[in-house]
Amino acid sequence: MTTDTATSRTTAARLHDPAVRSFASDNYSGVHPQVLEALAAANDGHAVAYGEDPYTARLHEVMGSLFGKKVDVFPVFNGTGANVVGLQSLLPRWGAVVCATTAHINMDENGAPERVGGMKLLGVATPNGKLTPELIDKEAWGFGDEHRAQPLAVSITQTTELGTCYTPGEVRAICEHAHSLGMKVHMDGARLANAAAFLNVPLREFTSDAGVDVLSFGGTKNGIMFGEAVVALNPSAADGLVYLRKMNMQLASKMRFISAQLLALLQDDLWLRSAGHANAMAAKLRAAVDTIAAVRPTQATESNGVFAVLPEGVAERLRTKFRFYDWDEAAREVRWMCSFDTTEADIDAFVAAIRAEVGA
């Protein structure tokens, strides 16, 4: 093979423009180089399939040290799978889940918890994406009523879909209240690392120590290629996870490649540094838009997202240069997300484009 042919094939293999930057989602970013290295290292030779590999065994040990106790860990393909499997393990067939109306399980999983998981979701409106014991009580009733799906679990998202963050005390209050009612607590931790970076406390302080029973541990939004994990922080509260994962088509035959990525993320606090950087870029963006009178932020910036209302027509014009999503199209509210690889130059270019469109 000639050098020209090899170069041609390499060029042809790249179908996207790596210079294009986006503020649409942290799912748009690529894979962290250290994670790619870990995947390549795990690729040599053979290893036992379906989780009987040394990478998955090591992941159990690392997760246990992270949460300060013995936990059961079940790597899965994606976040929706983690949420469905984790919630199923907490509920009987007649169980229901109290969640925020804005929760990912309620708004963005195409009915998977209800259609695939077989559970009813009981949504509660919140001002900032966060549940409280008082808000939970709006749907935590009818215990013993055969005509009502039984509210037997609470699901909270950390950080929330609105970019806000539960404090350890807030999580503890929810868990204590839910447990007092005979309910169990699930945490959707798709952006768990961003919460840890914002709170600057050990991960266990707002998860296992606070009373969370089952956690969906996120990695895809924080620099891995694919994969999340269901973590039973209270294994006695979760039933049948080993069977539910397979039933829900979330059992990876070559599981070592999911586990190796999560291990790379957890090694030397890469997960925390990457999330902290994404948060810092969002804080820089928020500080800049706070100086633009025509832009009105709508939520506290406590993670890697900024929510704001734009003047009419501005979002459409901005999207010709930078992709991002509407959050509430009727209200002209948009969402801007930063990633582990967002740079200060990206923020500067985006802010300049915003200023140019609003005439600031």
User: At 359, is the pLDDT very low, low, confident or very high (cuts 50, 70, 90)?
Assistant: confident
Which residue, chain included where needed, has tokens 């294009």? Answer: 20
* pLDDT of 55 strictly over 60: yes
- Amino acid at site 211: G
CATH 3.90.1150.10 domain range(s) in the chain:
3-31+270-358
- Percent of the chain scored above 70 by pLDDT? 96
Contact 217, 185 (CB under 8 A): no
Contacts with 163 (C-beta within 8 Å, 6 or more apart), sequence order: 129, 282, 299, 300, 301, 302, 303, 304, 305, 306, 307, 335
- Percent of the chain scored above 90 by pLDDT? 95
CATH 3.40.640.10 domain range(s) in the chain:
33-268
Could you give the 3-state DSSP secondary structure of residue 151?
Answer: strand
* pLDDT of 8 strictly over 90: no
* pLDDT of 124 strictly over 80: yes
Q: Are strands 305-309 and 296-297 parallel, antiparallel or unpaired?
A: antiparallel
Contact 53, 256 (CB under 8 A): yes
- Joined together, the tokens standing for residue 50 give 């379906």
pTM of the complete model: 0.95
CATH no. of 3-31+270-358: 3.90.1150.10
Mean pLDDT value across residues 238-264:
98
Mean pLDDT value across residues 235-243:
98
- What would the pLDDT profile of 153-210 be if each residue is shown by its tens digit? 999 999 999 999 999 999 999 999 999 999 999 999 999 999 999 999 999 999 999 9
User: How many Å apart are CA 172 and CA 82, to the nearest integer?
Assistant: 22
User: How many Å apart are CA 313 and CA 159, to the nearest integer?
Assistant: 30
Per the prediction, the chain carries an average pLDDT of 96
pLDDT reported for residue 1: 46
* pLDDT of 2 strictly over 60: no
For 33-268, give the CATH class. Answer: alpha beta
Tell which residue, 166, 169, 173, has the closest CA to residue 198. 166
Could you give the 3-state DSSP secondary structure of residue 355?
Answer: helix
pLDDT reported for residue 12: 60
Beta-bridge mates of residue 96: 120, 151
User: How many Å apart are CA 133 and CA 127, to the nearest integer?
Assistant: 14
Apex CA 209: angle with CA 185 and CA 61, to 5°? 100
